[in-house]
Amino acid sequence: MFYPLAAVTVVSALAVITARNPVRSAMALVATLASLAVCFVALGAHLVAALQIIVYAGAVMVLFLFVIMLLNVQEDPHEGGRTGLKVAAAAIGAALAALFGTVLLRGGGSVEGAWPAGFGTTRALARVLFGDYLVAFELTSVLLLVAVVGAVVLARHDSDESDPGEVEEPQ
Amino acid sequence: MSVWLIGAIKSLVVVVMVLQLSAFLLWIERKGSALIQNRLGANRAHIFGVVPFNLGFLNTLVADPVKLFTKEDFVPAGSDRFLHALAPFMALFPAIITFAAIPFGDSIRVAGRTIDLQAVHLDVGLLYILAMVSMGVYGVVIAGWASNNRWALLGSIRGSAQMISYELAMGLALVCVVLTYGSVDLQAIVRDQGRTLYGVVPAWGVLYQPVAFVLIFIAGMAESKRVPFDIPEAESELISGYFTEYSGGKQAAFMLADFAEVVLVAGLVTTLFFGGWQVPWLTAQGWKFPGAELISLSPWTVTILQVAAFSVKVLFFCWLQILIRWTVPRFRYDQLMNLGWKRMMPIALANVVITAAVILVWGRAA
């Protein structure tokens, strides 16, 4: 079950970075996120899977697509790119690969045994989220609210300046 | 092995039922619109002139698919061929798999095995439905973008803006539903509606959450993009909106997706607010009318009655949507956005706060 899923995830993730067309790239990212959600289902975390689809695949990516379509971003004509960036990307990629490889070789990621009763259910996850981690949860929500208000303020500021209704009186 | 087999059979039954009902609705809509507009409607199916009565539904069930799937599949120049072909499936697929979580009957015992009459028993049923509904946007967005046609692109931008806007009100209304039942498991929600108030009135969700019912019904109709919410198609402005450049089988897929969404809204409203498969006063043992003796029924009879009740309710809400579609004119774009953001959103928010306060003070109804 895991290997076909992982294959789909990796292939679609590769498509995200190899696609020349931004819309195709975004759709590949949707596929990646969706197959990650299926991975969560296979791990028994149904709620996390549903939230992954609702928040990332359903909301965030739709906005991405919207912006790409509205700005009419064209296909990337550059064959190359900046050499410095390429070197940095290769270095970071190699470092991450080495990190994951080490963890895999040491067997640190393996978990044995069955799931405890009620694992991954809405009730169990809600208890942890709104019990043990309530403060962190509320702080995150405040952070998101600040970001939303900030975005609205920035957007309004722009429109105010170009608003012909508020022309200053000639001196 | 048998678990997989049962799952496969149940999934097949659900998919076939939904597709059949969607195709059948197309005929009902043709006849219904004819009825409303004082016409005869689809009536050219007197086979060889032999059959004396009208077999108009054969047109939509047999002749239409044959016609559509044998037509030329035209792909416009300069379009993204891959995404153009993918879009109809992205519209149809989420609409159909959403039904997996909707229960159409209580669990039955067959050969010592308990079988849920539901394609999959999901603990996160309601969230799963919300997730799949939000995936339906991609079909619209990609269809318009991949067609290389300005009207199609405009249609898809309108469509996605509309679906995102109404998803918000729908989500908030669903929060009230979750608060009321204390569960996101759809089977648990339906079982909870089997109670009676004062021993007489069936405790269906619409009695507790009338506002949420109206909000979800309207938002659901907006999600299915039909009149009065058919801004994305708006044939008088945008030719045919996001599926202007589709023909043949792919166009049929979009049409089917629309009708599958109609059935979905009907199923969702039935499940959440009208008792799902519950028949008034019918218990697992038999019919217990208020003030009367128990009329014993066999488990199979009860199950058949439940599935029949669910089907009747779903058909009723499908018909109601068709009736609304042919009665109300299309909204203007600003009216549509105002309704979604300035009317339904605040009402839904107030509903959440009031529901939460009531539950905090008096506790849950159950």
Query: How does pLDDT run across B200-232, given as a tens digit for each residue?
Result: 778 788 888 889 899 999 998 888 887 787 777
> Residue B145: which of A23, A34, A59 has the nearest Cβ?
A23
pLDDT higher than 50, residue B173 = yes
pLDDT band at B280 (very low <50, low <70, confident <90, very high): confident
Structure tokens at B221: 């109709």
A6 Cβ contact list (under 8 Å, min separation 6): A39
For residue B71, the SS3 value is: coil
Closest residue in A to B157 (Cα–Cα): A66
| Domain residue extents for chain A | 1-75, 121-162
Taking CB atoms and an 8 Å cutoff, what residues of chain A touch B124? 46-47, 49-50, 122
Taking CB atoms and an 8 Å cutoff, what residues of chain A touch B137? 58, 62
| A30 contacts B142? CB cut-off 8 A | no
In a domain, B102, yes or no: yes
Would you tell me how many other CB atoms lie within 10 Å of the CB of residue B182? 15
| A58 contacts B135? CB cut-off 8 A | yes
| A66 contacts B131? CB cut-off 8 A | no
DSSP 8-state code for residue B205:
H
Could you tell me the residue range of the domain that residue B329 belongs to? 71-362
Rounded Cα gap, residues B122 and A122, in angstroms: 11
pTM of the model: 0.82
Rounded Cα gap, residues B233 and B227, in angstroms: 9
Interface predicted TM-score of the whole assembly (ipTM), two decimals: 0.76
pLDDT higher than 70, residue B90 = yes
Cβ–Cβ contact A53 with B under 8 A: yes
From the candidate CATH numbers 3.40.30.10, 1.20.120.1200, 3.40.50.300, 1.10.760.10, the one assigned to the domain spanning A1-75: 1.20.120.1200
In a domain, B25, yes or no: no
DSSP 8-state code for residue B226:
-
pLDDT band at B56 (very low <50, low <70, confident <90, very high): low
In a domain, B12, yes or no: no
Q: What is the pLDDT of residues A29-52, one digit of tens each?
A: 888 888 888 888 887 778 888 888
Structure tokens at B52: 């004396």
Cβ–Cβ contact A62 with B under 8 A: yes
pLDDT higher than 90, residue A146 = yes
In a domain, B1, yes or no: no
The pLDDT, as a whole number, for residue A112 is 62
In a domain, B13, yes or no: no
Task: Give the pLDDT mean for B253-263.
Answer: 86
For residue B271, the SS3 value is: helix
Cβ–Cβ contact B82 with A under 8 A: yes
| B138 contacts A30? CB cut-off 8 A | yes
> Residue A50: which of B128, B142, B156 has the nearest Cβ?
B128
Structure tokens at B17: 């039922």
For residue B109, the SS3 value is: strand
Closest residue in A to B127 (Cα–Cα): A50
Task: Check if the beta carbon of residue B239 is closer than 8 Å to that of residue B344.
Answer: no
Cβ–Cβ contact B153 with A under 8 A: yes
The pLDDT, as a whole number, for residue A166 is 46
Please count the CA atoms within 13 angstroms of the CA of B279 that sit on its side-chain side: 21
Q: State what percent of residues in chain B have pLDDT above 90.
A: 5
